[in-house]
């Protein structure tokens, strides 16, 4: 267990770009050479509100993509929905601002050692880290199909350049304002039935992750999902971010989504027990 947070660095990173993309902000931070330790699925914890902030907790964001080329030594991209006071502050920072960050944190997505058929499923801006993952899977010779879903068009995050990394991309909105009307679970059911999928990578709201886990139960399809639980520390010291997860022997304990996740095996997460008091196991 030693080696928790082993790549994590505390640093002040310069915000080199802040662009609005639909309902989200694309923020790019200069983090230098440490970017080479970043893996898809890792997240960053950002201090918000400035020096005299009354917001005492960091905000966790998935790292969507990294680059080790260009004018800066290394940059990371994060996609932020400005819906709370911390994320609104972050999205309002001008380019050139110095941002206090800790990264990379958390368990990344597992990358297969040989080419497989990978299905990437993103809900809302949860799609962001999937594009960086897609590039890596493509480089490994995987077939990469992507399905994105959201309630409405404005909540779909699908950057043009990201589309190059995938073999197919399908979009579903509940109100039909973009792509096909419906939910992501319908096409997943079809793909599973057609034996077209070896691994599902998912990121998005908990309800979606739970639904996908139900579809992959009793199949050989591996489901790696990045969970979302509210985190107070991001580094494993507060125990607020826990989820009920079974081990290989079936014993359920509360795991920390920050250091044991955010990427977890969807088959082991006890979705029905989330938010419940666990029975005591003697």
Partner 1 sequence: MSIDLSTTLGSAWFPAPVFTASGCASSGKELAQFFPLQEIGAVVTKSIMTKARHGRPTPRMAETPSGMLNSIGLQGPGIDAFLANDVPWLLEQKARVIVSIAGETVEEYSSLARKLRAVPGISAIEVNISCPNVENRGLVFACDPDAAHAVIDGVRRTLGGELPIIAKLSPDVTNIVEIAKIVVDAGADALALINTLLGMVINLDTMRPHLGGKTGGLSGPAIRPVAVRAIYQVHAAMPKVPILGMGGVATGRDALELILAGASGVSVGTASFGNPEAPIKVQRELAELLTARGFNSLREAIGFAHRVESQ
Interaction of residue 78 with partner 1, rule CB under 8 A = no
* Cβ contact 200:130 at 8 Å: no
Exactly one of 47, 128, 144, 227 binds partner 1 (CB under 8 A); that residue is: 47
Q: Left, alpha or beta for 218 (phi > 0: left; psi -120 to 50: alpha)?
A: left
Interstrand relation of 180-181 and 199-203 (parallel, antiparallel or unpaired): unpaired
Interaction of residue 264 with ligand FES, rule CB under 6 A = no
Interaction of residue 181 with ligand FES, rule CB under 6 A = no
Q: Maximum CA pair distance of the chain? A: 58
Main-chain phi, psi angles of 95, to 5 degrees: -60, 140
Interaction of residue 91 with partner 1, rule CB under 8 A = no
Range 227-256, binding ligand FES (CB under 6 A): 231-234, 236-241, 256
Exactly one of 22, 110, 112, 236 binds partner 1 (CB under 8 A); that residue is: 236
Q: Which does 254 bind (CB under 5 to 8 A by kind): partner 1, ligand FES, none?
A: partner 1
* Cβ contact 74:30 at 8 Å: yes
Q: Which stretch binds ligand FES (CB under 6 A): 62-70, 112-120, 160-168, 225-233?
A: 225-233
Interaction of residue 73 with ligand FES, rule CB under 6 A = no
| Alpha-carbon dihedral sign for residues 122, 123, 128, 129 | negative
Interaction of residue 253 with partner 1, rule CB under 8 A = yes
The secondary structure of 112-143, three-state, reads CCCCCEEEEEEEHHHHHHHHHHHHHHHHCCCE
CB of 152 to ligand FES, least distance (A): 30
- What tokens appear for 272 in the block? 């029905």
Q: Kindly list the residues in this chain that would bind ligand FES in the complex (CB under 6 A).
A: 231-234, 236-241, 256, 258
Q: Kindly list the residues in this chain that would bind partner 1 in the complex (CB under 8 A).
A: 1-2, 4-6, 8, 10, 47, 54-58, 102, 229-230, 232-233, 235-244, 253-254, 259, 274-278, 280-282
């Amino acid at each position: 267990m030693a080696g928790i947070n082993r790549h994590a660095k505390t640093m002040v990173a310069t915000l080199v770009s802040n662009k609005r993309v639909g309902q989200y902000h694309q923020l790019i931070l200069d983090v230098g050479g440490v970017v080479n330790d970043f893996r898809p699925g890792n997240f960053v914890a950002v201090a918000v509100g400035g020096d005299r902030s009354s917001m005492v907790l960091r905000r966790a964001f998935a790292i969507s993509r990294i680059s080790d080329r260009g004018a800066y030594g290394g940059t990371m991209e994060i996609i932020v929905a400005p819906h709370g006071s911390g994320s609104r502050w972050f999205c309002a920072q001008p380019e050139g601002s110095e941002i206090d960050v800790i990264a990379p944190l958390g368990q990344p997505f597992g990358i297969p050692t040989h080419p497989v058929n990978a299905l990437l499923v993103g809900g809302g801006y949860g799609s962001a880290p999937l594009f960086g993952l897609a590039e890596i899977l493509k480089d490994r010779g995987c077939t990469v199909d992507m399905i994105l879903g959201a309630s409405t068009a404005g909540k779909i995050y699908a950057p043009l350049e990201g589309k190059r990394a995938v073999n197919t991309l399908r979009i579903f909105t509940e109100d039909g304002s973009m792509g096909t009307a419906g939910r992501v679970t319908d096409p997943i059911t079809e793909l599973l039935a057609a034996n077209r999928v070896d691994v599902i990578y998912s990121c998005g709201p908990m309800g979606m992750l739970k639904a996908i886990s139900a579809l992959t139960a009793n199949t050989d399809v591996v489901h790696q999902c990045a969970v979302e639980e509210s985190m107070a520390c991001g580094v494993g010291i507060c125990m607020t971010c826990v989820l009920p997860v079974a081990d290989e022997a079936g014993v359920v304990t509360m795991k920390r989504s920050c250091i044991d996740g955010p990427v977890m095996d969807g088959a082991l997460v006890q979705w029905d027990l989330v938010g419940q008091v666990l029975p005591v196991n003697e």
